[in-house]
Amino acid sequence: MTSPILTDSFFASLESSTLNLADSETLPPECYTDADFYEFEKEALFNHEWLCVGRVEQVANPGDYFTTKIIGEPLVIAKDRAGEIRAMSSVCQHRAMLVAEGAGNTRGFVCPYHHWTYDLDGRLVGAPAMDKTCNFDRKKFSLPALKVEIWQGFIFVNFDAEAAPLAPRLTVVEEAIANYDLASAELADTITGSFAWNWKVMFENNNDGYHASKLHQGPLHDFIPSNLAVFPDAAAEDAGFLRFNGALHKDPSFNPTQKAILPIFPKLTDEDRTRVTFANMPPTLSLVMTPDLVIYLILRADGAETMEQDTGVLVAPGAKKDPAFSHKLEAIMNSAAKIIAQDMHVDELVQVGLRSRFAVRGRYSWQEGAQGQFNQWLVARYRKAWDRLKGPKKPVKLAAANG
């Protein structure tokens, strides 16, 4: 690492972002803008953490697949003939052509360039005209595989073959959202967008309780005011953290009525139904949970100042059977779109501000408790990766004394 900012002093300065919120300050602007820091961050976070890529409903049947990309790596997610969900590189092991695009159902993956053919589990099963190639062994040319874990119906992958399981580090989050029973929820819609800002800008906005009553003031959002935000404690080993935002009435929902218009998730308690729950699993997944709808956001970094995001909608089992379902969902999503547009405008301009010579390390309000937890999650991993990458200190070589 030779970047001028990747130094011991820079990483030592990050500790001030992990203090108690009343004493803490924001991360340095370079963490959101610097290309070398992004390259470091890929190793510190994305190469070893569990990354959400989608929902099991997207690969419901054998042969179903979809493609995605994160930190520049094109991936294909598929259900094989035995019913196991696989995550693989979609890069052909011959000349690097992608073997899959989009989504669909297939018997296998055929590289369109030279027709090397891969089974649904990634094994190379066909390689035309390779009979004269010396010592060619198909078994050595399978699509590289990633670890897979399913949590609450979400598909997580990990580039690190030695990574510890995810679920044991999400017990606090899982207990808090258990009554939504997301594994049984129904997928209603998904969209994907590309954005010109750092992934952390988006993730922090998703976490932030402070801006709710300021940026989003008005009838589409004012039923969950910022002063009713609560941030449960998160332990250092946790892989996720929470924000509960109390509501001014039961069954709040983002639509002009401010109240649920779709069926309520059936297992919710009265406590669940008088708040909006925000669950965050960095670096890729955020959940916005109202009693009648869950919006999930899958953040996919692809540069220091660029990212993509998959946005999905989950509803209670059976909700889609209502003849008026599409109209009710449209009412919610039209309202949500107005709120999201406000967030997107802020994200864009925050990224502009972070590039300025006048950008400073700011201070936090108590209503930004999730930001403090996010910083603690980040800095612990930055510190560990920096210590690993810089290697042991080299001994100082003293000049021989004269005489």
Nearest to 52 by CA among 89, 82, 81, 87: 87
pLDDT > 50? residue 398: no
pLDDT for 4 equals 82
Going 191 to 207 to 345 to 254, the CA torsion angle's sign is positive
What mean pLDDT comes out for the span 160-185? 97
What mean pLDDT comes out for the span 337-350? 96
Q: Indicate the pLDDT class of residue 178, thresholds 50, 70 and 90.
A: very high
pLDDT for 2 equals 56
pLDDT > 50? residue 396: no
pLDDT > 80? residue 394: no
Q: Indicate the pLDDT class of residue 393, thresholds 50, 70 and 90.
A: low
pLDDT for 392 equals 64
Cα–Cα distances in angstroms (integers) from residue 190 to residues 55, 61, 95, 298, 299, in the given order = 10, 18, 32, 11, 13
> In this predicted model, what pLDDT tens digit does every residue of 321-337 receive, in sequence order?
999 999 999 999 999 99
Tokens for 209? 């309780």
CB distance 168 to 158 below 8 Å: no
Tokens for 365? 């309000």
pLDDT > 50? residue 1: no
What mean pLDDT comes out for the span 230-255? 94
Residues whose CB is less than 8 angstroms from the CB of residue 281 and which lie 6 or more positions away in sequence, other chains included: 50, 52, 170, 173, 239, 240
Percent with pLDDT over 70 in the chain: 96
In single-letter form, the type of residue at position 115 comes to H
pLDDT > 90? residue 395: no
pLDDT for 220 equals 87
Buried b (16+ CB within 10 A) or exposed e, 376-392: bbbbebbbebbeeeeee
Percent with pLDDT over 90 in the chain: 93
Instruction: Work out the mean pLDDT of the chain and round it to a whole number.
Output: 95
> In this predicted model, what pLDDT tens digit does every residue of 60-83 receive, in sequence order?
999 999 999 999 999 999 999 999
Q: What is the CA angle 45-79-183, rounded to 5?
A: 70
What mean pLDDT comes out for the span 377-389? 96
CA 116/CA 119 separation, integer angstroms: 10
pLDDT for 400 equals 45
pLDDT > 60? residue 26: yes
Residues whose CB is less than 8 angstroms from the CB of residue 221 and which lie 6 or more positions away in sequence, other chains included: 212, 213, 254, 339
> In this predicted model, what pLDDT tens digit does every residue of 353-379 receive, in sequence order?
999 999 999 999 999 999 999 999 999
CA 389/CA 383 separation, integer angstroms: 10
pLDDT > 50? residue 145: yes
Domains parsed from the chain with CATH numbers: 8-46+170-387 (3.90.380.10), 51-153 (2.102.10.10)
What mean pLDDT comes out for the span 274-285? 97
User: What phi and psi values does residue 133 have, to the nearest 5 degrees?
Assistant: -85, 125
Cα–Cα distances in angstroms (integers) from residue 284 to residues 263, 299, 308, 309, 352, in the given order = 28, 5, 11, 9, 23
What mean pLDDT comes out for the span 1-19? 89
